[in-house]
Structure formats: C-alpha cells, structure tokens
Structure 1
Amino acid sequence: MPATDDSALALAAQLRGLTDAELGALLGAREVRGASIKDFFDLADAMLDPESIQLALGRLDRSTLITLGALGSADGAISAQDAAARVASLGADPAAVAGHLAHVVGLAIVTRADERYAVPAAVSRQLSQWPALGLPGLDELASAPAPAALVPVSQTEARVTDAVSAEHAFATSSAIAELISELQHEPARELARGGVALPDNKRLAASMSVDIDRVAELLEIAARAGLVALDSGRWMPTAASTRWLGGTSGERWARLAGAWLERLPADIRGILGHRAHAVWGEQLQEYVDWLFPAGGDRMRERVLVYTRDAQLLGITADHVPSTPGAALLADGPTAAASVMVSLFPTEVTQVYLQHDLSIVSPGPLAPRLDARLRTIADVEGRALASSYRVSVSSIYRAMAGGETVATIRQFLSEISLTGIPQPLEYLIVEAGTRYGLVRVATIDGDRASIRSTDDAMLRTLLVDHGISSLGLTRAGDRLVSRFDQALVFWTLSEARYPVTAEDSDGAVILLKRPQASRAAAHDAADSTANLIERLRLGSSSDPEVTGAAWLSRQLDVAIRAKLTLTVTVLLGDGSTADYQLEPASVAGGRLRALDRKADIERTLPLTSIVSVSPAK
C-alpha cells in the first residue's frame, strides 16, 4: 500500500537526486523488482512497502537500529547532533551515529533534507509492530547485553586447525581445477528452476571425485572467483580460468579466497573479522542473532553460506579460523596465500613415464606442469600423487590445441625422471603421422565441411552414432553439416578423431575452445540498468521535458493521501510566494486546493507553480 503521509513525496525527491551509481547500489541492496515501476513515485512506494521495509531492517545491526529508533521517536526531522544526543541518552555510543545515518539514508529508509533527518511514517509503523512480532523494541535494543565472548583458539588447536585447513584448501583448489577441465570438454546444463542437470551433476562429481551434493558448492566458489560462468543456460569456463590453471598453488588459492573475501557482505565481514581468532560455530550464530535482531533465517543462511565456503577453502577447520584464514580477514589474500602455501605439501616438477603409457607424479605436480600435461594425457587418479595416461586420442587433443610431435617430446623429456619409454615414443610418432587425416573447414559462410584423404574415414564418420547430432551428409568427396566449423571440430576432437581445422586455402588454423562470454550476474545488472534508464526517461532533469509530469505525479500523490503541501507560485511581478495548500483536484491545467491558513479555496494555473514540497 502507498504511504499515507508525505514520505512518498520526500523519498521520491531524494531518489530522484541520486546518481546512477548510487541508485544502482540502492536497487541492489533493497532487491527491488522493477517490472511495475515507471517513475520515482512508484519506486518510493515500493521502498515504503511494509515487506520491503522489514527486509531492509533485517539487514541493520543493533547499533544502527538504535539510531533509527531514536530518530523515529523524534517529533519531525532532526539534525545529526540531536540524533547523537538521543542515542547517548539510551546508553549507546553516539560516535557511530553519523555512519549509521549515512547507511540508512543510502538504504532509503530515512530521508534527508537540509542536513536534517526524518524516518518515514511507514518505517516508524513497522518498527512499532516489532514487539508484537517477537522482536525487540527500542528500549530492549539498547539494554539487551551481547552474548558471552567466543572461546579463543589455543596454540595447540591452531596447529591442528592449520593442518586440516591446508588439506581442505588443497583439495578444493584441485577439485575446481578438475571442474574447469571437465567443463572445457563439455559444458554443464543449468535447469530452468535452478541447479545443474542431474546427468551433468553426476559427471562433474565423478571428475572431481566428490559427493554429488558438493558439486553445487564448488561450482559456486568457482563462479564467485570468475572461473566459470553461466552462458546461454550452460556452465562454461571463462577466459580467466586458463590463467588460473597455469598459476602457482598460492595464486590459485589466493584467487578463490580473495573472491570469498571480496564478496563477503560488509556486515558479515565485520562479524567474522572481529572473531578471526575465536571459535565460530553455535556461539557465532548466537552473536549473529543478537547483532541482527530482525535478520532471522535470512541472515543465518547468509552467514552459513560463507562459513560453509570458509571450511572448503581452509579459511576455517571445524569452525575454527586457521592462521591463513585470520591473515585473510586481517591483511588480504596475498598475505594469506604466503601463509597457506607454507602449509601445502611440497610440489614436484618431475614425473615417472612408464612403459604402459602411464605417467606417475610422486607428489603434487606444480600447477603449470599439471595444466600442460592434462592437454597431452588423461588424468586417471587425482591425489597427492597423481597418475595420468597417454593415448592416441589424448595426443590428437594436444595437437588440436597447438602441440606438435616436437613440442610434446620436448616437454615430456624435461619433466621425466626416466626418459621417454619406447612405446610412448612410438605412440607419439604414430599419432603425429595420422593427425590431420580429418580436416574441417567452413563453406557457405557458416556451415562446416569435412574432407579426408581416407574415404573409409568419411564412411566411418557417417555411421558413427556418437556424432549423429552433427547431421552429417555426403556432398561429393566431402561431408557437410548445418553446424559451424568450431562446433563440428570440437565434437570430432572429443570423439577422438585425428581432426584439424583449416581455412579456405587449406592452411591449418587453431581454434580456441568455447568460453563463457558473460556471467549470469550481468543479467541482474542489465535489469537494474534498464530500470534506471526508465526512471531517468520518466523524470529527466530538464524541466521543459518532464517538469509538468513530475508536478502532476506530486499533486496526484498529495490528493490521494490528503497531504498538505508547500506550493511555490510565480507571481505577475516575477516574485514568488509560498502557500500551504491541501490539493483537491487537477483539471483543465489548473489546481484547486484548500488554503488551510487563510481558510479559502484557491485555484492556480499549473504553469505558474514553480515547485511543490511537503509542508514544513
């Protein structure tokens, strides 16, 4: 329901004066859905809806709520100094009042004009109902003591915690590397109702060697770090994932942990930051419930998500902050990464190449070497000591990515503790000889064609059910598909054919694997940008364009709510005069209103009205 006082007028004017950046931040913080919002009055009404107000109040900590309550208990707008005096009289700290006022004004639950602050009546009404809802009133907010202090972490416990946290951090970084690698081969489909499709969920769980219930959590961590993104309904790696895979263990963890810290809401960061050396768990939850009286399940869930991911990232272990975790909260990801790396198992840079075409790493292989080895061999076992296997198809895959017989041989020679066994040498040479037997080009602008010097290979492609989705048909000495070159090329590559891409002149070209072009979060940003544009178009700062429309909406709100306004009118001699009027109707370009002070009815041309504002 729209507000029945002058709050909507004051708030609409305040919202209209915000910059686009400030407006965007507000719309995000208040989670405004803009489908039915056409102008700033609609937006003000949405902000003053009781459900929206309660949601915003749930985001405020106890100290800010005390300031808001003290402000609301005043008779009309008051200054920041008067607000601080009222807060001090309640026994609370007045030093933080300025920050609180800036915060609540930014959330549009307090209006500010001429450096005086007022709580809209709709907000005051909502606060007055708190005791009936089982929430604290103003006196209880100020008097209820905080829960007992959290238990500090002992030195012995810290050593155990660090060992466990390093294990978790290493496992999560490794699992996300597997996730990216698997998504490079085949993206995962996102369901319309949310969540990854079950077949893809099982596939990702198997590749990461984790329970299926953990896939969504690891996917969220990777998405938060910008390593994967949802594009056209499919989860795909981003360009940043390539750099991440080639980074050091410390750089990998720093990006994941840094994204966790960066996305940590300020309120939750404050909670965790002050408890970086204490046990979390149930006592932390008790403190959250006290600090955010109206936060309820929503705040508990927000804290739970970040504390859950803190466990996976090794920021905590069994609800106890690790040494790297405390460093992260205090000094940031770079400082924390240097601490975490010292806890990681020692990396190796050389492996054993065996006659059965397997490769065994005696310890965690340095990430840059692991990332390249994965292009040449398939991962068979992932642990502190990993194993890989080279095959004809894996060599084909490497060559599709730009490797040659010479570069593969050189790389394996550099990392091998045992040289290159003869069976592996034969395999590399044989794969190199056959590679390029299948060539994919573009015809007719966007369709793909396939040629080969081996007609038997073309006949095999035609009957292979594994690639039937390409819809291949014979066209003379070639096969053609309705799909483009990149899709056909990578489909054949994943099907383990010796395929290469070529241009119109027959020269070999390298194709990059498809990557996400944008993140799903951009959809929300686009929606916000569209709403801001709609608000600006409906309320331009140019009075010649929208001044009349703005005036009409102000008067309409005042008429419906029976509000008294200060109406500034331009007189014949060029001067202005202020009238305290209660608008009754607008018709024929004229305002009819009751002048309470003079106890007469006035009729004014709309063209002579300079401005209107809530009555003072």
Structure 2
Amino acid sequence: MPATSLADWLRSASDDELAALLQARRDLATPPPSDSTVLATRAGTAGSTARALEELDTFTLAVLDALLVADADTEAVPLSRVEELIGADPRPALERLKSRAVAWGDDDALRVLPVTREIVGPYPAGLGVSVPELAGVELAELSEDERGVLGALASGSPVGRSRDAAVQVPLERATTPVQRLLARGLLVRRDAGTVELPREVALALRGGRSCSPDALREPELPVHPHQQSTVDEAAAGEAMEFLRQTEKLLMLWSEQPPPVLKAGGLGVRELRRLARDVEVDDTRATLLAELAVGAGLVADSGSTTPEWVPTTLTDSWLASAPGQRWLTLAQTWLELPRLPGLAGQRDAKDKPIIPLSDDLRRPLAPLNRRRVLNSLADLRPGEGVKSVEELVGVLAWRAPRRGGRLRDETVRWTMAEAAALGVIALGTLPTATKALLDDDRTRALSAMVDAMPAPIDHVLVQADLTVVAPGPLEPELATEIKTVADVESAGHATVYRVTEATVRRALDAGRTADELHELFGKRSATPVPQSLTYLIDDVARRHGRLRGGAAASFLRCDDEVLLAEVLGNPVAQEYELRRIAPTVLVSPVPLAEVLDGLRAAGFAPAAEGPDGRVLDLRPSGRRIPARSKNNRRVLADPGAIDPEQIATVIAHVRAGDRVATRRRGKEVRLPGGGGGSDTAATMALLARASREKREVWIGFVDAHGTASQRIVTPAHVGGGVLLSTEDERFPLHRITSAALVED
C-alpha cells in the first residue's frame, strides 16, 4: 500500500535513506526523534523546511513550484502532471526533494509538505489564482495592447495595480485593455485598484510551462585558460602588496592609535586618514583594519579613552617571513565572521555601518566565502572566470534562496577581497589557496613561498639620494634600510629616500656613521654617491652634542654635605643614585622606593610635587587590570554528523516505530517508576520474557531525563540491569513500566 503521509513514507524508508535525510537536514537529529511520526512533524516545520530549501538549485525549486501549482500539498499528484508543467524530466529534482523529505510518494502519488506553500509564497512559479473554467482558453483574438498587459503579468507577479479595475463594465462598453480583459474573464478583479492574472491564462501564455527554459539548466560559466605558474605568481604579487599595506597600517597606528568610537568601531575620519596615508581607497582600508583586528594584531586598548592599538603579536608577525605573514592574514579572512563589504552601507535605521563595529558581524560569512572559493576550485587547473558577474549568475542559479538580500553582493565582495589578498588571481585559485581550502597549512605556506619572488640582498643607491630595492629585500636588510630611509613609492620595485631627518633617526636608534657607511658600501650594487657620504658625516658631526637621559626620581638638598653623606651610604649604590649637580641626585628607581630605602638607612626624606609641596606617597590599595567585556563566541559550522551518531538516531526512531505498531499486554509498573508494585512480579515478568525469548514493552527514562518507550528482548536480568539481546543495557531504576508484547 503506497505511503499517504510523510510519517508512513519515513517508516518504510531504508536506513541509508534516513541517514541521507539526517545528513542533509542535520537539525532533525537533535534531539533524537522518538519515532517516524515525530521525525515527520519536525521535518514539516517552517524553519527546518526553509533551511532545507536553501541548498536547492533553481531547477529543483522549479519542480517544487510545479508540485505546488498542481496542489501536491493537499492531494496526490502524478509525475506526468509535473513533467507536463516543467517540460523536462523532473525525476532528478524529485530525488533531491525526497532526500530532504520535502516531497515523498511514488510516481503516481507525489506529495509535498504543506508548509512549503507558506515558504514559497502565495504565487508559486509566479502563477495566480486558479480558474478551472479558463482551462484551454484561446488567446488568438486578443489585441496587441491586451497581450501586452497579459504578458507583463505572466512574466512577473500575477498581481497588478490599475485604476481601470474600479468599475467592471460589459465588453461592449470597455475602453481600455484592462477593462476588456476583465469583461472577458481573462483577469480577476481583486479590489478597486488591483487585478490578478488567472493561472490558466498565464500557463497558456507560457506554452503550458510553469517555468522558463533558463531554469532548467545551469548557465554556462565562461573561463580563460592560464598557466598555473602564472596564476601563482600573480597571486604572490598581490599578496606582497597587501602585506606592505598591512605593515603601513601597523606602523601608523603604533605611532598614533585611532580612537574607538563610543558605540564601537572606527570613525569615518580615521578611516579616510588611513586610506590616504596607505594610498588606498576606503574599501581596501576597511579590509586592512578588519583583518588586522581579526588576526589579533590590533585590539581595543580598553582604557578610559580606548584606542585601536597594535598588540604584542604585531612584533612577531613583522619578524616572520612574508609567506607566513600571508598565511596568517589569509586564514583570518577565511574564518572571519564578519562582512567588511557592508561598511559604508545603511542599516535598518538608515544609519551608516562603520568598520570594526558589531554591525558587520555575520556568523555565516566564512561558509559563504568557502562556497565562492569552492566554485572556483571545481574549475580545471589554470582556468579562471572571465567575469565576476557571470559567476554571480551561476551561484545564484545553484542556490537562489541562500544568502538573502546580500546573496549576490556577498559573491562580489568575496571575489574583490580574495583578489586583494592574493587568495585568488586571474579569476581562479592559486596553488596555495587550494591547499588552504583543504586545511593543509604546511602545503599552503610552501606554495606561497615558492611563488613569491626570492628576497634580494642588495639595493641601488642613486645620486639623488634615493635607494631602489628592485624586489623584496631580505628581512634584515629591509629593517636596516627602513631605519635610515623613508618609502617614497612602493610596488614591485620600492623606492626609498634618504634625508637629514632619516639619517638622524638612524643615529637616534644607535647606529653610528661608520655603520651607515658600511651598510651602503656593502649592500649597494651601484657606487655610493659622494653626496650621501657627506650627508651622513654632517648629520653625525652635529648629533649627540646635547644629551638627555631618563630618571624616575630625584633628590635635592641645599646642604651639599648631607648629599655627600647619602652618596657615601650603601643605599646610594642600591638605588643607583648619582649626582648631576652640586645639590641634585637622580635615580632610575621610583621615588617611593628610594624614600623607603633612605628611611631604612636612617635618613628622613620627604616627597615633593611639581609645586614644591609635600606629597603623601602611601599606597591607596591593590589594583587589577580591567577585564574584557567582549565574551561573544563565533558560531562554527557544525559540519557533517558522525555516522555512529546517525546510526544511533535511526535505531532510536526504529525502536519508537516498533512501539507504535505493537500491542502490549497487562502493564506492570516498577518501583523506580513510582508505581509501587511488587518487585518480585516485575522480575518474574522480565525473567519469563528472557526465558521465552519474548519481546517486552518498557517505559524508560534516559540519563538526560527524557522519557521514551522501547521494545526489547531481554537476554539477562540481574545486578540491577536489564541486558537485551542487542547488547543494550537498561538500569532497572530507570525503567518506569514493563509489559509483554502480544502477538
């Protein structure tokens, strides 16, 4: 007998079919349904069904629309009717719908979940209300303007607005196309200003088809062939530029951290300043800031006046090789639960969305990025898409219900961000990204290192005091050059400029004139110009004549003899006191500690403030750092369900189905279940079932407190445990009732 309900169909399905359903719709397995009826009820809820439809392509959804047009949500529909509406073989799509329990039944009696009409909307396939009297209607005698009205409604929404619907007049008095169509019954008047195109008329205009031919097959994705090595080199070039821009951001924010807005995020003025200083647009500046914070290189200081400040991870990141730095940023981008592309858009309250704010948070962003990249991974090696818009169209066909209103924009943003990072190049994936998508970080790092140009160990010093790096410099050389010169222009060849200020900066960092001469003498592939030598010597000759030092505290006294006594005491050596004037001593130790030491040595010092008044330096109490208030967790993709877990759920469902289809005899309640009956009678019933190999119907409460009913065949009863023939163990204190199953 064919299954008439979803529960019946699930009950008759094989274990493999149920396993496929639970993998496709993971929400159905938690908590484990007690039987097929509960599973069917859960599968028929609006939220679960809507999630199941998100993964379906346009053709499958068109078949679903055809089923709804044929009213398969209220009665059984033959396959031939669906095939007639689609104009193609619908069986592959039907299998996908059945594998998700959206549709079920044999070819002569197909059904769909009633809730799908609510999810799809009132006009499946864009078809309006059914008027059976119009079946087989002839439209040959219609005028061009009447056909134009019907055609517009047939290709879009079947509902239209028209003032001509205010009064319905006979055909002989009709003066407009809408009035004539209403008079002929080819339009239905809904109210004084609205008309609706009947389903039968729309189907006649469409040639009997419920969907357009474009819905039947996936659009072609034009591609360009490239050498994989060319793709890898292009990606490495973009990656190097992005790393340089990130370094620039970290340097700028190290010197002048931007403030954190009261509502959180980075202000528009600070974003534009960053874009101007790094020489990028606002979109790239937003991406740089988001990844710097996402990678932990920058964080909210959390102080009274919070700022975006580089963290201690910045130093280790800057000290790493370029390949490792790229891997950190690329991995961060893949896993970032935010949409940087939303910055600059307007929220529901028409307020601008700002970078680094909570408004950019989207937990599903990592899944959507991988979806785009995986579509490129499916191409043959070296093939790259010709146009992002064509890729947008293909992905929209593959999952039109996924992504909401940002579906297409997310693809565009992903492609732009990936290209900026060097995660894609020439419209396809480099070798490093393919390895990254496979979670092989070691291979990804090796591939990017191989693709990046080898670091060079020399520069070209020019007569105009510029230093040209014809490629990426070795880390040590790059650090030395950045110390003594400023970047004037960046790219594949970086140009630095040496000035009086940059030479002074190098000397302030501890370099000597001889060391700078040696640096350029050994590392320049061109002769060092005399002008550079004179500049270094001239700045070095004037450098350091006026010196400054650091002191945490000072002692002053008009009595030079008392100061001499202090210097002669061992306390002076302990606190590193030294004389800088006849009446002044200084120390690198904080004042409170120095005064405590002097008092312990027998002196009687006093502390004074900037105005000369005596200060009270006694401690005011213990302090602890402020704790972070951001305790949000990033929701991860649950991934596939473990096969053992699925097998357990299926066994649970099957056990519940057996309970629902068996008759039980007289019930015996166990003391643990609150029935208060004789334990001996209960043990006798279970022992009898074990001896006669009879099935027993038991009520059972699991460790989570969930009550259920099971049918088991006892193999042994003893030690406070019922052991079934299938090696299942049921503690007797959790069994609430028991009864023999009647044949």
TM-score (norm 2): 0.43
Task: Give the Cα–Cα distance (whole angstroms) in 1 for the partners of residues 707 and 121 of structure 2.
Answer: 32
2:270 counterpart (197, 200, 215)? 200
**Hey, what's the Cα distance between the residues in 1 that align with 2:514 and 2:12?**
76
How far apart, CA to CA, are the structure 1 residues paired with 2:42 and 2:412? 34
1:542 alignment counterpart: none
Q: Which runs of 5+ in 2 are unaligned?
A: 50-113, 126-209, 337-364, 380-384, 555-582, 586-624, 635-668, 677-702, 710-743
Question: What residue is the counterpart of 2:353 in the other structure?
Answer: none
DSSP 3-state at the match of 2:488: strand
- Given the superposition, is the C-alpha separation of residues 83 and 343 from structure 1 closer, same or farther in structure 2, using an over 3 Å criterion? farther
Q: 1:312 aligns with which of 420, 428, 443?
A: 420
Give 1:303 shift: 4.3
Q: Which residue of 2 aligns with 1:185?
A: 255
AA aligned opposite 1:124: T
Q: Which SS does the other structure have where 2:45 is aligned?
A: helix
Cα distance in 1 for residues equivalent to 2:447 and 2:15: 46
1:442 counterpart letter in structure 2: A
How much does 1:378 deviate?
2.0
Q: For 1:589-608, what aligned pairs fall within 5 Å after superposition? A: none
- Specify which of 45, 51, 67 is matched with residue 124 of structure 1: 45
Matches within 5 A, 1:110-121: 110-112=30-32, 118=39
Distance 1:393 1:439, change over 3 A: farther
1:386 CA drift (Å): 1.9
CA contact (8 A) 2:459 2:468 kept: yes
- Preserved CA contact (<8 Å) 1:349 1:369: yes
Q: Deviations over 1:280-303 (max 9, x none)?
A: 734543454443725312555554
Q: Letter of the 1:187 partner, please give it.
A: P
Distance across 2 between alignment mates of 1:397 and 1:135: 69
Query: Partner of 1:576 in structure 2?
Result: 673
Partner Cα distance (2:239, 2:705) in 1: 60
2:319 pairs with 230, 246, 254, which one? 246
Q: Is the 8 A contact 2:486 2:496 kept in 1?
A: yes
Task: Give the whole-Å Cα distance in 2 for the aligned partners of 1:209 and 1:352.
Answer: 24
Contact 1:229–1:238 (CA under 8 A) maintained in structure 2 = yes
Partner of 1:352 in structure 2? 460
After superposition, the Cα gap between the structure-2 partners of 1:170 and 1:118, relative to the gap in structure 1 and judged at 3 Å, is: same
Instruction: Report the alpha carbon displacement of residue 612 of structure 1 after superposing the two structures with TM.
Output: 7.2
Q: 2:432–2:444: 8 Å Cα contact kept in structure 1?
A: yes
Deviation, 1:312, is 0.7
CA distance in 1, matches of 2:220, 2:508: 56
Residue in 2 that maps onto 1:539? none
Tell me if structure 1 keeps the 8 A contact 2:372–2:414.
no
Deviation at 1:215, TM superposition (A): 0.7
Give 3-state SS (helix, strand or coil) of 1:387's partner: strand
Alignment-derived partner of residue 543 in structure 1:
none
Structure 2 residue 293 is matched with structure 1 residue 223: yes
Off by >6 Å, runs of 4+ in structure 1:
113-117, 119-123, 135-140
CA deviation vs aligned residue, 1:358-398 (integer Å, no higher than 9, x gap): 43323343344323422332222222222223445445544
**Are 1:152 and 1:277, in contact at CA under 8 Å, matched by a contact in 2?**
no
Q: Spell out the pairing of 1:395-414 with structure 2 (5 A cutoff).
A: 395=503, 397-398=505-506, 403=511, 408=516, 410-414=518-522
Cα distance in 2, alignment partners of residues 413 and 324 from structure 1: 38
Is the partner of 1:380 in helix, strand or coil? strand
Alignment-derived partner of residue 439 in structure 1: 549
Contact 1:310 1:316 in 2 (8 A): yes
CA drift of 1:477 comes to 9.4
Partner residue of 1:276 out of 365, 373, 377? 377
- Quick one: higher RCO (CA 8 Å, sep 6+), 1 or 2? 1
| Aligned residue number for residue 285 of structure 1 | 392
Displacement after TM superposition at 1:124 (Å):
0.9
Q: Is the CA contact (8 Å cut-off) linking 1:355 and 1:424 kept in structure 2?
A: no
Q: Structure 2: how far apart are the matches of 1:130 and 1:523? A: 42
Deviation at 1:157, TM superposition (A): 7.3
Whole-angstrom distance in 2 between the partners of 1:347 and 1:334: 20
Percent same amino acid among aligned pairs?
Answer: 26
Report matched runs for 1:481-560 at 5 Å. Answer: 523-524=629-630, 526-527=631-632
SS across alignment from 2:549: strand
What amino acid maps onto 2:490 in structure 1?
R
Shift of 1:145: 8.2
Query: Which of 308, 311, 314 is the aligned partner of 1:235?
Result: 308
Q: TM-score, normalised by structure 1?
A: 0.50
Higher helix share: 1
Distance 1:577 1:151, change over 3 A: same
Match of 1:172 among 242, 246, 251: 242
Q: Which residue of 2 aligns with 1:209?
A: 279
Q: CA deviation at 1:613?
A: 5.6
Classify the secondary structure of the residue corresponding to 1:229. strand
Q: Is the 8 A contact 1:250 1:340 kept in 2?
A: yes
State whether residues 348 and 363 of structure 1, in contact with CA within 8 Å, keep that contact through their aligned partners in structure 2.
Answer: yes
SS in 2 for 1:438: coil
CA-atom RMSD, angstroms?
Answer: 5.0
In 1, distance between residues paired with 2:311 and 2:41? 45
Counterparts of 2:19 and 2:706, CA distance in 1: 32
**Corresponding position of 2:341:** none
AA at the equivalent of 2:332: A
Q: Which residue of 2 aligns with 1:104?
A: 27
Aligned counterparts of 1:393 and 1:119: Cα–Cα separation in 2: 76
Going from structure 1 to structure 2, the CA distance change for 1:391 and 1:276 (only over 3 Å counts) comes to same
Secondary structure (helix, strand or coil) at the match of 2:376 reads coil
3-state SS in 1 of match to 2:544: helix
The equivalent of 2:471 in structure 1 is 363
Q: Contact 2:300/2:309 (CA < 8 Å) preserved in 1?
A: yes
Query: 3-state DSSP class of the match of 1:181?
Result: helix
Aligned partners of 1:136 and 1:293 also within 8 Å: no
Q: CA deviation at 1:219?
A: 1.9
Q: For the Cα contact (< 8 Å) 1:161–1:322, is it kept in 2?
A: yes
Partner AA of 1:236 in structure 2: V
Q: Which runs of 5+ in 1 are unaligned?
A: 1-69, 89-93, 445-475, 479-517, 530-570, 580-609
Change (3 A) 1:427 1:226: farther
Q: Distance in 2 between matches of 1:251 and 1:528?
A: 26
Hey, what's the Cα distance between the residues in 1 that align with 2:220 and 2:490? Answer: 38
Q: What is aligned with 2:536?
A: 425
For residues 111 and 120 of structure 1, the distance between their equivalents in structure 2, rounded to whole angstroms, comes to 13
Quick check: 1:405–1:432 contact (8 Å CA) kept in 2? no
Query: Residue 190 and residue 113 in structure 1: after superposition, are their counterparts in 2 closer, same or farther (change >3 A)?
Result: same
| 1:241-300: CA deviation from partner (whole Å, max 9, x where unpaired) | 223333333333233223334547346425532531533734543454443725312555
Contact 2:513 2:537 in 1 (8 A): no
The residue number in structure 1 matching 2:183 is none
- Cα distance in 1 for partners of 2:269, 2:311 equals 22
1:142-198 CA distances to partner (integer Å, 9 max, x unpaired)? xx9885276374534767655644443232222222222222222223434555334
Tell me how far apart the structure 2 counterparts of residues 293 and 255 of structure 1 sit (CA, whole Å). Answer: 33
- The alpha-carbon distance between structure 1 residues 422 and 303, as it changes in their structure 2 partners (threshold 3 A), is same
Give me the whole-angstrom Cα distance separating, in 2, the residues matched to 1:419 and 1:83: 87
Over 3 Å counting, the alpha-carbon distance change for 1:198 and 1:576 in structure 2 is closer
